Amino acid sequence: MTRNLHIPSFPECNHDIVKAVAHHSDQELLTLFQRYPDQGQYFTAIFCRYSPIVYTLIQHSARSPVQADYLFALTWRHLYYELGGLDLQAHENVTLQSWLISLTAFCINQAQLPPVEAIQYSLQAAPPPLWCYMEQALDRMPPMIRLMVLMAQTFHWSETRIAAYLQAEGDVVSPAEVKARLREGYRLLEEHLPADIRKIYLDGEWEEDLNAQSDPELVSLDSGFE
């Protein structure tokens, strides 16, 4: 029996910032993405152009919509890092579309997906471009502050609980110090996120404390590939 296919829509594809660069060719978008790593619009435009193809390939192989969304995000994360060093001109008869299809097939074949009940990822809360740049921003933060931000936003722990956990691990930190470091962490996170990504995804929602009810949940996903 044939399964009904549903391709998700992404509002960012209609954002003025993304539409303003949508006229570029694949090669132009790739070059701009590589030349201006502090701007997220070019990768987002590539994502919007090819997400239907990538999702269709993944949906045919996934056992459930939840696993399809998760693998879709993992695949675009993999594509994001691979695109940074891609030289299409060095490969004869290879287009960006054919390369994306080939790498998507690789991800499908290599991914080790957890059971549905163990997947916490939400495609609506953290679309792949936002997730990629959010992860990049988190990676640039001091380890201790990054850990505190993840505990506060991903697990919704209070300053008191975070302080207790860190004290149990041998780090003497008071709840007041946790609060101060969280404030610094949110400032750094905003600083490290590309300005256009903030406008595309967080404009009108960004708060100093990254209110968990209005902003995308900070998720840390394993690569999923061996």
Longest dimension (CA), the chain: 60
Helix axes 143-153, 159-168, angle to 10 degrees: 130
Q: What is the pLDDT of residue 185?
A: 93
d(Cα 52, Cα 186) in Å, to the nearest integer? 33
Q: What is the pLDDT of residue 215?
A: 44
Q: What is the pLDDT of residue 219?
A: 56
Q: What is the pLDDT of residue 187?
A: 92
pLDDT < 70 positions in the chain: 1-5, 204-226
Tens of pLDDT, residue by residue over 20-45, are 999 999 999 999 999 999 999 999 99
The two structure tokens encoding residue 55: 């999702």
The alpha carbon of 78 is separated from its chain's Cα centroid by a whole number of angstroms, namely 10
Walk me through the domains of the chain, giving residue ranges and CATH numbers. 11-118 (1.10.1740), 128-202 (1.10.10)
Q: What is the pLDDT of residue 83?
A: 97
